[in-house]
Amino acid sequence: MKKTSVFVWHKRALIKIYSDDIRCLVVEGNYTKILISPTEYYMARCPLDDALKRLPAGEFVKIHRSWAVSINYIEEIKRDAVILPGIELTVSRQYYKLLKQKLSIIGKQSPPAKD
């Protein structure tokens, strides 16, 4: 199976990054931080939406106006948060429904427990 890759400018060189290795993308001013791990990342001088256009559409989903995550790294989804290995990000109300549509979900949500 062929891996999808992108190139990012880093220290005056183009570095290849495989989309499978990207956990999430975070907006920081005029830059998009591409997280490979909680401590390894690359900074790309572009808006988040432009970075997402270069990555596989079915693999990444926007969860906030400033964050997008790889669905391959999601460990848990709460109503207001997405948990990735070593990272917890807030999910905006407007993106929660879109996030659920991108996932394969088995079963229906059970009603809240009665006290």
How many residues appear in the chain? 115
Task: Establish if 115 belongs to a structural domain.
Answer: no
Here the CATH number for the domain that contains residue 39 is: 2.40.50.1020
Write out pLDDT tens, residues 27-67. 999 999 999 988 899 999 999 999 999 998 888 999 999 99
Task: Establish if 111 belongs to a structural domain.
Answer: no
Q: How many domains does the chain have?
A: 1
Its domain, for residue 16, covers 5-102
Q: Residue 75: is its pLDDT beyond 60?
A: yes
Task: Establish if 33 belongs to a structural domain.
Answer: yes
User: Cα separations (Å) of 29 from 32, 41, 44, 63, 111?
Assistant: 8, 16, 11, 18, 41
Task: Establish if 52 belongs to a structural domain.
Answer: yes
